[in-house]
Amino acid sequence: MTALSERPAPITARQRADLTIALTAWAVPLLLTTAVAPATSRPAQLALMLAGALTVTLMLRREDRTVRGQTLAATLCACTVEALAVPVLHLWTFWRDAWPLWLPFHHAQLYLTTVVIARSLPGVLRHPVLTPCAVLWCGAATVWRVLAGERGDLISVFGVAALLSLRRHPVLGPRLPTIVVVCGLTDAAGVAAGTWTYQPHDITGLLTLGNPPAAVAGGFCITYYASLLLAPRLLNIWQRLGGGPPVRKPAA
């Protein structure tokens, strides 16, 4: 861990290039979440899907098979959550109840962006103050929403618990501040544009939700944690199909 008195190591040319690509490509999911409301025709949806697919493909070309496996796992996990949360649990809805065609690429892009930013700025993001500040920010917003918000936000209590549980994880811990910023802002942009809307409560009426939840980053962390467990199994399946050497330990 970087001490308070230490200066972060200088960014290499490769890290600078990856960071530039990631920040530029982050505009794609922001575009997807804000442009879908006025762009409901099938050609527009297909164009947005192709834009997301192209961006993800270009970014994956710079990654090794471990990150590619993690990205596939994160996309599968996130889409599974969407499939359960929307029609079953009624946690949120999409604009005009239409599932965006670009949704899988949106989740892949978000995961890749958090990975690349955290990898490109290790000296900064491993600073001992950043992760506690990120958790504190989500926790304070959750307390305010629960106690003073009009609709409550009990689901964010679980989000904060996830952030606290994973803050020392060897892989997700250093990425946590990035996840809070990247995923939180993207989710808020989607809500502001009307691309998706969180329901006041779940199907039981007991679990209240903010719009968006204050600790939505905790949900992304849980999804990414599950993807780290799933990725080695996907890579081993690929190996058995002749795609490369086996993975004998969890991808990290």
What is the pLDDT averaged over residues 109-130? 82
Does 99 reside within a domain?
A: yes
Does 246 reside within a domain?
A: no
- pLDDT at residue 192, rounded to an integer: 86
- In terms of residue numbers, what domain contains 95? 13-240
- pLDDT at residue 99, rounded to an integer: 81
pLDDT confidence bin for 64, thresholds 50/70/90:
very high
Secondary structure, 3-state, the chain: CCCCCCCCCCCCHHHHHHHHHHHHHCHHHHHHHHHCCCCCCHHHHHHHHHHHHHHHHHHHCCCCHHHHHHHHHHHHHHHHHHHHHCCCCCCEEEHHHCCCCCHHHHHHHHHHHHHHHHHHCHHHHCCCCHHHHHHHHHHHHHHHHHHHCCCCCCHHHHHHHHHHHHCCCCCHHHHHHHHHHHHHHHHHHHHHHCCEEECCECCCCCCECCCCCCCHHHHHHHHHHHHHHHHHHHHHHHHHCCCCCCCCCCCC
Q: What pLDDT, in 10s, does the model give residues 124-142?
A: 666 778 889 999 999 999 9
Mean pLDDT, rounded, of the chain? 84
pLDDT at 1 over 50: no
User: Which is nearest to 42 in space by CA: 115, 104, 99, 110?
Assistant: 99
Number of domains in the chain: 1
Does 245 reside within a domain?
A: no
- pLDDT at residue 22, rounded to an integer: 74
For the chain, percent of residues with pLDDT exceeding 70: 83
pLDDT at 250 over 90: no
pLDDT at 232 over 90: yes
What is the pLDDT averaged over residues 82-95? 91
Does 1 reside within a domain?
A: no
Record the pTM.
0.86
User: Dihedral (C-alpha) 40, 46, 49, 55: value to the nearest 10 degrees?
Assistant: -130
Does 2 reside within a domain?
A: no
pLDDT at 7 over 60: no
Does 5 reside within a domain?
A: no
Higher pLDDT among residues 92 and 43, named by residue:
92
Does 210 reside within a domain?
A: yes
pLDDT confidence bin for 37, thresholds 50/70/90:
low
pLDDT confidence bin for 83, thresholds 50/70/90:
very high
Q: What are phi and psi of 22, to 5 degrees?
A: -65, -45
Does 248 reside within a domain?
A: no
Q: What pLDDT, in 10s, does the model give residues 193-203?
A: 888 999 999 99
pLDDT at 3 over 60: no
pLDDT at 217 over 70: yes
- pLDDT at residue 23, rounded to an integer: 75
What is the pLDDT averaged over residues 153-172? 95
pLDDT at 58 over 80: yes
What is the pLDDT averaged over residues 153-176? 94
Lowest mean pLDDT among 75-84, 113-122, 161-170: 113-122
